[in-house]
Amino acid sequence: MTVVHVVLPGDIDDPASPSGGNGYDRRVCRGLAALGWTVREHPVAGGWPRPAAGERAALAGVLAALPDGALVLLDGLVASTVPEVLTPHARRLRLVVLVHLPLDDEVEARALAVAAGVVCTSGWTRRWLLDRYPLPPDRVSVAAPGVEPAPLAPGATTGRLLCVAAVTPLKGHDVLAAALAAVADLDWTCDCVGALTRDPAFVERLRGQLTDAGLAGRVRLSGPLVGAALDAAYAAADLVVMPSRQETYGMVVTEALARGLPVLASDTGGLPDTLGYAPDGARPGLLARPGDPDALAAALRRWLTRPRLRARLRHAARQRRDTLTDWTVTADRLATALKEATAA
């Protein structure tokens, strides 16, 4: 039986702070176990990716306690800024780093250089890493997220907009607020579902922006939702909006498509690949320039005022739904990457 030690952020199961990265980690741990692996989890508390000295020391202690030759999968949020912690163990442990979001700095380059393997959560991320860091291509693999099958959302109305993301500058809620202000003459509501604690100052500014634009009654900051409550939010939506400034994959996109919901996303990073195409070549949504409220507003206006466009995008989303892969495929690909790192 193959044993893998998985080093995870300490908030891996915190319902108050859900994230795509944590959701991915939890799914693949379960998936590897279902494949017969022995998965030994090591959550490490800390302000990752900017840990304090004591948090770095705690991670070093976790690695030091592992037996020689152990296979270790480290979440990139933890591993990518601590090459000085990884390097002393690189010869005696098989270190594999799981990169969700590249940091684009020399420290990350040094951390990944000492790993036996790197696993990316999107093809876009792999291309990005190989373009910027001197990593051997055969050591960099991809295990893209899967998606749980879900019932079709009715999507029978027009203006029920849903944004699922932690409320931070990176996710572009301020861009969305400005775009919504530009289409305030139309009939819509927007539910923003996601953690409000990552950047409290930004959340406060966003509330002020919504109030100043007269949108406080139409845009709801609901906080994080999980399980049945999140399912209900998707079921009530007509269009999922993802205005991120940067995104390597965007699991929310496939979660929407699994329900047959079209997506309006930023044309950045891995989002175009994740949105993909229906089998007939149609896009199951719209793309807008990142960080551009005017472009996002124009796309929203098209959705809200063109019935034929809505019908076409809904049809494409339902067709794209049938092409999605589940988490067993992700686990299989990750298992292959881990075996290759062990054999190297």
Residue 173, both tokens: 């809620």
Residues 225 and 256 in one domain: yes
Residues 121 and 184 in one domain: no
Residues 230 and 334 in one domain: no
- Which residues does residue 75 pair with via DSSP β-bridges, in sequence order? 98
Residues 296 and 337 in one domain: no
Residues 221 and 256 in one domain: yes
C-alpha angle 162/166/170, rounded to 5°? 100
Note whether residue 151 is domain-resident.
Answer: no
What mean pLDDT is predicted for residues 260-266? 98
pLDDT digits (tens, 9 = 90+) for 202-241: 999 999 999 999 999 999 999 999 899 999 999 999 999 9
Length of the chain, in residues: 344
Note whether residue 154 is domain-resident.
Answer: no
Residues 311 and 333 in one domain: no
Contact present, 264 and 237 (Cβ < 8 Å): no
Note whether residue 191 is domain-resident.
Answer: yes
Q: Is the dihedral of CA 80, 147, 128, 18 positive or negative?
A: negative
Residues 138 and 178 in one domain: no
Note whether residue 153 is domain-resident.
Answer: no
- By mean pLDDT, which of 47-56, 194-203, 269-278 is the weakest? 47-56
CATH number at residue 9: 3.40.50.2000
> How many domains is the chain built from?
2
Residues ≥6 apart with Cβ < 8 Å to 136: none
Residues 187 and 276 in one domain: yes
Residues 271 and 169 in one domain: yes
Residues 288 and 332 in one domain: no
**310 has pLDDT over 80:** yes
Residues 281 and 298 in one domain: yes
Alpha-carbon distance of 296 to 243, in angstroms, equals 8
